[in-house]
Amino acid sequence: MKTWDKFDKIYCVHYLPQTKRYLNIAKQLSKVGLLGNPKFSWKLTFDSPFYGQLQKSVKLNPLSKLASNFKKGYVLKCALAHY
């Protein structure tokens, strides 16, 4: 049994503007035999004005660590992609 057979689905979250990073990731995934596996899928993220609107609508305790990280746009995008 191959390692990948133990999983139902495998995702790689990737921010589209990072084209150089994408090529390197794809190369490594290919080396381990994951890129062509039917269980593998990309979850691609990108910039959208909706992220800014969502950030403004969420009310968090301004003293919390979560609130300081949430102000960084990439944290929200990454969290939503994982969700």
Model confidence, pTM:
0.69
Higher pLDDT, 79 or 41: 41
Dump pLDDT digits (tens) for 20-71. 899 999 999 999 889 989 999 999 888 878 877 777 777 666 666 666 666 6
- Output the CA torsion 74→75→78→79 (10° steps): -150
Q: What is the pLDDT of residue 49?
A: 82
| pLDDT score of 73 more than 80 | no
Please give the C-alpha separations between residue 67 and each of 2, 48, 64, 71, in angstroms, as whole numbers: 41, 20, 5, 7
Q: What is the pLDDT of residue 61?
A: 63
Q: State phi, psi for 18 to the nearest 5 degrees.
A: -85, 70
